[in-house]
Amino acid sequence: MNNRLYGNLIFELSRQGRKGYSLPKNDFGGHSVKELPAAMRRTVDAEMPECDELTVVRHYTNLSGNNFGVNNGFYPLGSCTMKYNPIINEEVAAMREFSSLHPLQPAETCQGALEVYYGLQEMLCSLTGMSEFTLNPFAGAHGELTGLMVISSYHRSRGDMKRTKVLIPDSAHGTNPASAAVCGLDVVEVKSLEDGTVDVEDLKTKLDDTIAAMMMTNPNTLGLYEKHAHEIAALVHEHGGLMYYDGANLNPMLGVARPGDMGFDVMHINLHKTFSTPHGGGGPGDGPIGVREGLEKFLPTPRVILKEDGSLAVKTATPECLKGECDADDTSLGSIGAFFGNFAVILRAFTYILTIGKENMKMVGPLATLNANYIKENLKDVYELPIPGVCKHEFVFNGLKDKSTGVTTMDVAKRLLDYGYHAPTIYFPLLFHESMMIEPTENESKETIDSFISVMRKIAEEAKETPEIVKSAPRNTPIGRVDDVLAAKHPIITYKQLKNEQ
């Protein structure tokens, strides 16, 4: 399928006077556009493509063929967890009973939707060991920011104004320091040990009464379980700070362990990683946050709450509180986004959890962990494994083991595209120069994983025998290699249209 046969832009397919649409009759009682004030009217017609329907259908269908998704093939993207999104999720999210609701509808007219919302909050509490959840934040990073705002509100409510720092391990996801900075807090980096886990001795030197919180990912971005999490939490608490858990990817923990039991006070989950939802290319997502007992009152509004009569209601912040004049019992942040978060993603997560069920949920973490270890063990003789041992749901290679070939992680990633696989996450984490972060998830069959392993081995072989093939990959994609530096420094953001013969 070569789109270029047809043209890159729908505009290039345009032929004057050709139509592929039919609009319903204008029934605005004879009023026409001409009645708009002259100053607001166009003087020249808008330049719109004019195409027949079949051309439009083919153009967009062919374009969609350039997308790579979990539905096309294996997508082992570490940290971002590209999980299969079952069709039933889409059916539920599209149900008219949900999709045609209005967020300002009175609570008594949408009890079903509120029940989904409240039900998911409760499920997340039981899966994580937290006391309360809000589903309002729209993404993982948004959850981090909201969680840090909760932590700041908590310190402020105690009159403890000097806590301005957040401790973040050097292996952390980039959104952690970014969220702290957006929240007006200073980032203090904590070093990692050779084995990839947090250096507790380094942490100790950085603890004092200016620490607002420590942010941690566990298992961390190397896929390693931070075995000193309890000790770290105790140390931070001793100094009056709170523990923040980055649960963007809670996959390996499902059914195995709960952040609430490890001493964390505030956390977020990415519904769009842990509980399916396709989220390539920047959306959609939802990043609920959970808090331990005692911090509920700092959560943002609106909140869905259970009333004594068993019905659900929506609680918003009082106008006084939004002006900063609330009493000690009403310290909510107010709204952190439009209404209740991304409800269609919430519906998908709710459906996913119910589909799997409580018993099978316990298998998610162990299966994801098994799959990751299976790949790691079958490739570590040809790819460099900087930190040996058992990993959790993901692991990191530092490029090919044989460095003499000159073939880089970028080359391997590009060559994988030729074989029909999405590349893993590359050049992250920053702890190694040639990072290649692989995460298979629990959904993949042994056959899929075995073929991926054999392709990775084949590429390692090619790197030795015919390195040029790997270095010049990809060959089978519509676009070869883009120059990352040039694209960032001198982006060409206009497109020169091919002139079509009229």
Ligand X SMILES: *Cc1c(COP(=O)(O)O)cnc(C)c1O
Task: Identify the residue whose tokens are 């259908």.
Answer: 57
Per DSSP, the residues of 379-444 read HTTTB--SS-S--SS-EEEESBS-GGG---HHHHHHHHHHTT----EES-STTSTTEEEE---TT-
- The verdict on 287 binding ligand X (CB under 6 A) reads yes
Report the alpha-carbon distance of residue 181 to residue 395 in Å, rounded.
28
What is the SS3 assignment for 216? strand
Element (H, E) at 356: helix 343-379
Q: How many CB atoms lie within 10 A of CB 396?
A: 30
Q: Does 137 contact ligand X by CB under 6 A?
A: no
Q: How far is the CB of 286 from ligand X (least distance, A)?
A: 8
- Tell which one of 114, 116, 141, 180 touches ligand X (CB under 6 A): 141
Per the omega criterion (within 30 degrees of 0), is the bond before 137 cis? no
Specify the 3-state DSSP secondary structure of 246.
strand
Is residue 300 involved in binding ligand X (CB under 6 A)? no
Using CB under 6 A as the binding rule, whether residue 175 contacts ligand X is answered as yes
Given the complex with ligand X, which of 322 and 431 has the nearer CB atom? 431
Q: Which is nearer to ligand X, 141 or 213 (CB)?
A: 141
Rounded-to-integer distance, Cα 463 and Cα 477, Å: 20
For ligand X, the closer of residues 144 and 296 by Cβ is 144
Residue number, nearest CB to ligand X: 140
Here's the x/- map for ligand X, 403-432, by CB under 6 A: it reads as ------------------------------
By CB under 6 A, is residue 166 in contact with ligand X?
no
Site stretch for ligand X (CB under 6 A), options 29-37, 136-144, 180-188, 435-443: 136-144
Residue 315 φ then ψ, to 5°: -105, 130
For ligand X, give the closer residue by CB, 124 or 314: 124
Q: How many CB atoms lie within 10 A of CB 130?
A: 28
- What is the b/e burial string over 239-252, where b = at least 16 CB atoms within 10 angstroms of the residue's CB? ebbbbbbbbbbbbb
Region of 39-47, 124-132, 243-251, 362-370 interacting with ligand X (CB under 6 A): 243-251
- 277 binds ligand X per the rule CB under 6 A: no
Q: Which of 248, 336, 423, 470 binds ligand X (CB under 6 A)?
A: 248
| Alpha carbon distances (Å) from 223 to 37, 172, 177, 368 | 62, 11, 19, 11
At 198, the amino acid letter reads V
Please list every residue from 80 through 119 that binds ligand X, using CB under 6 A.
80
Tell me how far, at minimum, the Cβ of 466 lies from ligand X, in Å. Answer: 35
Nearer to ligand X, 139 or 211 (CB): 139
Tell me the window of 29-37, 129-137, 138-146, 204-212 that interacts with ligand X (CB under 6 A): 138-146
Residue 173 contacts ligand X per CB under 6 A: yes
Number of residues counted as binding ligand X (CB under 6 A): 14
> Any contact of residue 278 with ligand X (CB under 6 A)?
no
> Is 192 a residue that touches ligand X (CB under 6 A)?
no
Assess 285 for contact with ligand X (CB under 6 A).
yes
Q: What is the 3-state secondary structure (H, E, C) of 106-160?
A: CHHHCHHHHHHHHHHHHHHHHHHCCCEEECCCCCHHHHHHHHHHHHHHHHHHCCC
Backbone angles phi, psi at 346, to 5 degrees: -60, -45
| Residue 405 C-beta: closest distance to ligand X, Å | 31
Among 217, 301, 332, 371, binds ligand X (CB under 6 A): 217
In 439-477 the beta strands, taken as DSSP E runs, fall at none
Would you tell me which residues interact with ligand X (CB under 6 A)? 79-80, 139-141, 173, 175, 217, 246, 248-249, 270, 285, 287
